Amino acid sequence: APVVRLEDYRPTDYLIDTVKLDVRLHPTATRVTAELALRPNPKGTPGAALTLDGDELRLVSARLDGVALGAAAYAVTPSSLVLHAPPQRPFTLTLETELDPSANTKLMGLYRSSGIYCTQCEAEGFRRITYFLDRPDVLSVYTTRIEADREEAPLLLGNGNPVERGEVPGTGRHYALWHDPFPKPCYLFALVGGRLDKVSQTYVTGSGRAVEIAIHVEAGKGERATYALDALARSMRWDEKVFGREYDLDVFNVVAVSDFNMGAMENKGLNIFNDKYVLASAEKATDADYANIEAIIAHEYFHNWTGNRITCRDWFQLCLKEGLTVFRDQEFSSDERSRPVKRIADVRTLRAQQFAEDAGPLAHPVRPAQYREINNFYTATVYEKGAEVIRMLKTLIGAEAFRRGMDLYFERCDGTAATVEDFIACFAEASGRDLSQFFTWYEQAGTPTVTASSHYDPAARTYRLDLAQRTPPTPGQAEKRPVVIPVALGLVGESGRELPLKAGNEVPLANGVLTLDGPALSVTFTDVPERPVPSLLRGFSAPVRLEMDLADEDLFVLFRHDRDPFNQWQAAQTVATRVILEATRAARAGQAISVDARLGEALAHFLDSRAEADHAFAAQVLALPTEADMAREIGGDVDPDAVFTGRLAVKRALGAALADRLAALYGRLASRGAYSPDAASAGRRALRHAALDLLAAGDAARGTELAVAQFAAADNMTDRFGALAVLAHLPGAARETALADFAGRFHDDPLVLDKWFALQATIPEAGTLDRVRELTRHPAFSMGNPNRVRSLVGSFAMGNATQFNRADGAGYDFLADVVIALDPKNPQVAARLLTAFRTWRMLEPGRRAKAEAALKRVAGTPGLSPDVSDISGRSLA
Ligand code: DPP
Ligand code: ZN
């Protein structure tokens, strides 16, 4: 595939003002008639040929202003329909195409999922429905007639508002007509046809408009959609309150399907979801599932303004809608649940996904300047780092200027396809600030490292803090500029009190936030009454790595006393990281591992004094850095076995040292009453689970006994699966019995079996690869279903550091085989799996060579999709 570059952007030569679609659904031969009202674009080249995109379509007929096109007037290629000399005035092109939804295994365009017709058009799927200018800067008003067999598809949904429905006499078929008054790019087009159950309610907007909001799910599953429906109503209310945004159509439909490449899709008025992010019940969904459903329902809903009303000019601007909408959904969840705990969870994800991506061959800027395959840029960098950039913007200009900037953006850009420049200009104007350097965050890849050192002068009562930043080179960007880094900070006295923050020199300090925008910055604080412990990057105020050699004792001060809960947590994590690093070093050197007892003592104190005050927070404190976290910390020549051994030794030591406290906590936190997914109850379960997990590491027999009992007695999936997850790390008959029991109980529910697949794939034992291979032959497994593949193969490759990275390379070979086999069917999912190699260069030489060989085998496979060849090529570059 050719490289597409941002600098080459040009408007289209033609515009499409209205689209009238007539879609006659049929399982293998769906007919689509598209009537496109075209006109020359004043910004385009006069007289240019018109090239419409197409993919895997059969053209049946083509008419211009109602007259059949002569063969010489146009040409059809596998990827286009070219009209050589279009009229230089408004004209109508009517194209009839045929496609086969049942053969569509790529799950892009129109396809069937468990007998339900559905669509996925982002990024470039609409060209698989009809020939079109398939790019986001072509905005059209759509009217869609959908026709289907009444028995097969009693429900017919489209974008916008319903206009009319009726029978097609004598055929057993019926139709529905939908009209969407808001001009939109074709990637937001959607339709659904099928037999579905619905839950719905009337939502009254702030200005008093009644909207019918509905969620449609497979027959018999309606009860499991009520939580999502409630989350939708709460999202709508929140967007009115916090961003002043109201919903704009008469209906809002959400449809859940079981075969879906992504999490969900924000099609105008008709969101289509992976059912994993809709269906929830106490018996079948965990607390984490509920939280994800709430966040993703909100995310897609929030796109109605940030993405749909204001869309992207081109795909380079993807972060314009995604980073911003992730920020909005994070804020929603923070308001609905615990803000500090949400922040910790988000930073864990950011580090695990985005920092990993940024440190390897797939690193790219939040706004990439080029791509070969846009599907590969729905990344942690665009989404998660994109959200961090918005968060920094808000920190730098303040909440009020931020809201004024958002208001201006909605007012000025509504109805347009905008750029990141358009967006930032609104905030520059609203705040009166020059944001040109801030823009570097969008253009420069790589995770900046901030180094800090300090000196306290007791006689002068001054405290000097020296900060410096540097960003390591990334592919295609050797030289880096300094970025604008908001460093939220405080000074904490040894006794725990917050010390005054008075900058004695001229430095940019406002509301406890220092702005580091050059290579280095020194600040001297005056009237500092005692030696302070610096608490830097409070709330994780910037997506950077912080290097500061604080003494362990200082970290314990922050852990106990910092008024910023994020930095309390961070201090404990930093100490744990140090302890695990030392254990890993010893393991690698073949020496006995000794575990510094002070971490256990600090946690003991925490459990005694504070764990009960915020259960969810305490659960985060007890969760050690992961093996992948440790690998990134080590940075190079990583031996995953040594990391595993070192980390496990620390976990065992903590479990043993804290055993009595953990057992008592576990007992105290036992469920009372019926399951409720609310944040407080979920926090209690999370802490109870963390206690059991640590306890089981310290004492396998006791852990097994408790987990087996919990598994048997559980009345909800969080407790049942939590027990199973603990057992998964305890080899023996109890584990196998519980796994078999779980499979039997939920044999008819694929979403629940996904948990079972995923868990087994992450067992850190030599037999796991064979187990995973065996599970690929399980009747419930299917390579055709993205959720199954991600659960089994994705969890193995992304969540099992020792077994994916087996020294013999068999884990890499297995993944390469799956990617090669899956690519012809579903290139998007195959390419995503292959990103499991994104940190291969950090490995020790033996594994590195084996990973490289596997990647080369993939890269050398004939006929690769653009998706997989892009990832393999960049991974090896
Ligand atoms: N549906 C995906 C999302 O919402 C892509 N737009 O992030
Ligand atoms: Zn999104």
Q: What is the ipTM of this complex?
A: 0.98
- For 675-694, b/e burial (b = at least 16 CB within 10 A) is bebebebbbbbbbbbbbbbb
Instruction: Looking at the structure, tell me whether residues 181 and 274 fall in a common domain.
Output: no
Q: Is residue 518 assigned to a domain?
A: no
Q: Is the dihedral of CA 39, 45, 49, 53 positive or negative?
A: negative
Strands 449-457 and 545-547: parallel
Question: 309, 326, 355 — which closes off a domain?
Answer: 309
Atom of ligand 1 nearest to the CA of 322: 7
Residues 268 and 340 in one domain: no
Question: Sign of the CA dihedral 564, 569, 573, 576?
Answer: positive
Ligand 1 atom nearest to CA at 299: 4
Kindly list the protein residues whose Cβ atom lies closer than 6 A to any atom of ligand 1: 122, 262, 264-266, 299-300, 303, 322
Q: How many domains does the chain have?
A: 4
DSSP string, 187-251: GG--EEEE-EEEEEEEEE-TTS-EEEEEEEEETT-GGGGHHHHHHHHHHHHHHHHHH-----SSE
Domain assignment present for residue 808? The answer is yes
Query: Does residue 136 share a domain with residue 27?
Result: yes
- Residue 319 Cα to ligand 2 middle (Å): 9
Say if residue 123 is in the same domain as residue 138.
yes
Q: Check residue 593 and report its DSSP letter.
A: P
Residue 550 belongs to some domain of the structure: no
pLDDT at position 671:
87
Q: Whose CA is nearest to atom 6 of ligand 1?
A: 265
Whether 131 and 268 map to the same domain: the answer is no
- The rounded Å distance from CA 300 to ligand 2 centre is 6
Whose alpha carbon is nearest atom 1 of ligand 1?
A: 265
In a domain, 649, yes or no: no
Tell whether 855 is covered by a domain: yes
Q: What's the gap between Cα 283 and its chain centre?
A: 25
Q: Is 804 exposed, middle or buried (0-12, 13-18, 19+ CB in 10 A)?
A: buried
Which residue among 284, 309, 334 closes a domain? 309
Domain extent, residue 168, equals: 4-194
Residue owning the nearest CA to atom 7 of ligand 1: 322
Q: Is the dihedral of CA 10, 13, 18, 20 positive or negative?
A: negative
* Whether residue 33 is found in the same domain as residue 161: yes
Tell me which residue has tokens 């020296």.
466
* Cα distance between residue 241 and residue 224, in whole Å: 28
Rg (C-alpha) for the chain, rounded Å, is: 28
Name the residue at shortest CA distance from atom 2 of ligand 1. Answer: 265
In a domain, 517, yes or no: no
Domain assignment of residue 465, yes or no: no
Specify the pLDDT at position 399: 98
Q: Is 795 left (phi over 0), alpha (psi -120 to 50) or beta?
A: alpha
Question: What's the CA gap between 324 and 245, in Å, rounded?
Answer: 14
The catalytic residue among 122, 294, 300, 322 is: 300
Q: Of 394, 426, 443, which residue sits at a domain end?
A: 443
Chunk the chain into consecutive blocks of 10 residues (it has 877) and report each block's average pLDDT, rounded to whole numbers: 96 98 98 99 98 98 98 98 98 98 98 98 99 99 99 98 98 99 99 98 98 97 98 99 98 98 99 98 98 99 99 99 99 98 98 98 98 98 99 98 99 99 99 98 98 98 98 98 98 95 88 96 96 98 98 98 98 98 98 97 98 97 98 98 98 98 98 95 98 98 98 98 98 98 98 99 98 98 98 98 98 99 98 98 98 98 98 98
Can you read off the two tokens belonging to residue 46?
């006069």
Catalytic annotation on 151? Answer: no
Task: State the alpha helices, DSSP H only, in 414-501.
Answer: 420-431, 440-443
Residue 143: what pLDDT? 99
pLDDT value at residue 1: 84
- List the structure tokens of 512: 């406890």
Which residue of 277, 300, 376, 383 sits with most ligand 1 atoms within 8 Å of its CB, as the best mutation to test the pocket?
300
Whole-model pTM over 0.80: yes
Q: For ligand 1, pick from 122, 270, 273 the residue to mutate: most ligand atoms within 8 Å of CB.
A: 122
Query: Are residues 331 and 359 both part of a single domain?
Result: yes
Clarify whether residues 265 and 352 are in a common domain. no
| CATH code where residue 750 lies | 1.25.50.10
DSSP summary character for residue 352 = I
Asked whether residue 124 is assigned to any structural domain, the reply reads yes
Contacts 24+ apart (CB under 8 A), 160-169: 160/249, 160/268, 160/269, 161/249, 161/250, 161/251, 161/269, 162/250, 162/251
Same domain, 156 and 38: yes
Do 305 and 318 reside in the same domain of the chain? no
C-alpha span between 344 and 406 (Å, rounded):
26
Domain of residue 158, CATH code: 2.60.40.1730
Q: Where are the alpha helices (DSSP H) in 420-494?
A: 420-431, 440-443
Q: Is 39 exposed, middle or buried (0-12, 13-18, 19+ CB in 10 A)?
A: middle
The answer to whether the beta carbons of residues 822 and 829 sit under 8 Å apart is: yes
Q: Whose CA is closest to atom 5 on ligand 1?
A: 265
